[in-house]
Amino acid sequence: MTGKELSAAFDGLSRYLVGYEELIMQLKLAFLTRNHLLVYGRTGAGKSYSARVALGALTGAQVFRTQMTSFTIPEHLIGAMVPDTYLHTGEQIYHLEHGLADCQIALLDEFTDISDSLAKSLNTLLHERVFETKDMSVRVPLHTAIMTANQIPSTRTWEPVLARILFRYEAANVHGYFDRYRMQKVFEETQGVPPVLASVPFEEIIALYKKVKSMHVPDGVHYVLSYVVEEYSKAIADRPRAILCGRENTALVDLIRAAAVLEDREVTYSHIPAIRYALCTMGASEEGAREQQILDGILHDALPQAKHMSAEMKTYDNLGQVAHQLADAQADGKTDPERRFMLPFDYLKNAKFVWLTELEAYMAEMTGRLSFHSARALAGDLKRHAALLTARSKKT
């Protein structure tokens, strides 16, 4: 199955998920990046129904599903402890078969109804894919979990749990004449029972996931992604979901790879906007709409749409090459002032090699030649790091 074929298969869910186009895209990306998705909203908004429709599209996956409550305990999710072993040796060994630690796909309904302590204890299993007690440590096969909830908790205990759920979608009741008509037709067809479409073999998702992990991301794309994420993180610093740490950055790289795989293409700058599906809450969220507005402004600055801006994309390629060389120099731990750097910029006619001690001056010249803000900012950042590396070389 190609990426386009998988995308088309999931797009077929829109027949039953009226108005959920953004959620369908998040599902594709979650499955292709091995991440989790939280669907929340008021009662009756179709959260559980949409999750079950998504699961019904898969075949060949080992699925664990359960309804969470405030009385849910670890044994309900993981499995029972082996009593004889515990009585005779005191070892905490669990029967894991058919539980959350033994599945590939999980549907956790009313996820946020569980206790704060249970949520915290599940963090390692859900996100590190490891089940641990004092006497056992097992890698778990969990690929993706889809959680549903009526609301998002605001307690500190939940912050690390929610921060690691990459995709969020706020469901809302259907509005508008035509969409209400569509919903009526869907209910008439299904009688409210989620259809089992069985259109996507899970093994094909695994194959495409492996393809995602092996995709090359050009240095220029990496560097522009860093710019977008840095500017966005500064813009939302005072907002509830300022979660952009190293873990999320890594996940965003996989996300743009997945966007490329869904088009059966190599990764380009055009795939960077797909990060909106993780950085912003999709669906009916007012906060998510404000997040998208902020992100769109940054993307418009960094990725102009006009065709004549292709030269600027070439500039990003060049800046990415310099960033790669600087990163290698810092990673080597060597501060040789005679280390040579290649400057690939077009205005030099041919690639030019300069010493480390000359790099700062050349990057300053390059910064002055650039006409758009994001490239100037990136070039200025390289100039600053070149200066730091030069200063370190003089000390040694």
* More confident of the two residues 274 and 239: 274
Residues 28 and 154 in one domain: yes
Assign residue 40 the CATH number of its domain: 3.40.50.300
* More confident of the two residues 394 and 54: 54
Structural element, H or E, at residue 373 = helix 373-395
Domain edge (last residue) among 212, 235, 260:
212
Instruction: Reduce the DSSP state of residue 108 to 3 states and report it.
Output: strand
Exposure class string for 65-79: b at 16+ Cβ within 10 A, else e: bbebeeebebebbbb
Residues 312 and 202 in one domain: no
The predicted pLDDT at position 92 comes to 85
In a domain, 69, yes or no: no
Number of domains in the chain: 2
In a domain, 177, yes or no: yes
Q: Which residues pair with 343 in a beta bridge?
A: 352
Residues 44 and 169 in one domain: yes
Distance of CA 70 to the CA centre of its chain: 29
Residues 38 and 156 in one domain: yes
Mean of per-residue pLDDT scores for the chain: 88
Residues 185 and 321 in one domain: no
In a domain, 293, yes or no: no
Residues 156 and 44 in one domain: yes
Residues 29 and 166 in one domain: yes
Residue 30 identity (one-letter amino acid): A
**pLDDT category of residue 332 using cuts at 50, 70 and 90:** confident
In a domain, 175, yes or no: yes
* More confident of the two residues 46 and 107: 107
In a domain, 377, yes or no: yes
In a domain, 316, yes or no: yes
The predicted pLDDT at position 242 comes to 45
**pLDDT category of residue 157 using cuts at 50, 70 and 90:** confident
Average pLDDT over residues 338-356: 72
Residues 208 and 312 in one domain: no
Q: What angle do CA 352, 365, 387 make, to 5 degrees?
A: 85
Domain edge (last residue) among 168, 189, 212:
212
In a domain, 50, yes or no: yes
The predicted pLDDT at position 241 comes to 53
Q: What percent of the chain has pLDDT over 70?
A: 93
The predicted pLDDT at position 315 comes to 86
Quick: pLDDT tens for 286-324. 888 999 999 999 999 898 765 555 777 888 998 999 999
* More confident of the two residues 241 and 63: 63
The predicted pLDDT at position 345 comes to 67
Q: Is the four-CA dihedral 224, 226, 231, 233 of positive or negative sign?
A: positive
Quick: pLDDT tens for 167-184. 999 998 778 899 889 889
Closest to 362 in 3D by CA, of 385, 343, 335:
343
Average pLDDT over residues 226-232: 93
Enclosing domain of residue 18: 3-61+143-212
Which two tokens mark 197? 């479409």
Residues 34 and 179 in one domain: yes
In a domain, 159, yes or no: yes
Domain edge (last residue) among 156, 187, 212:
212
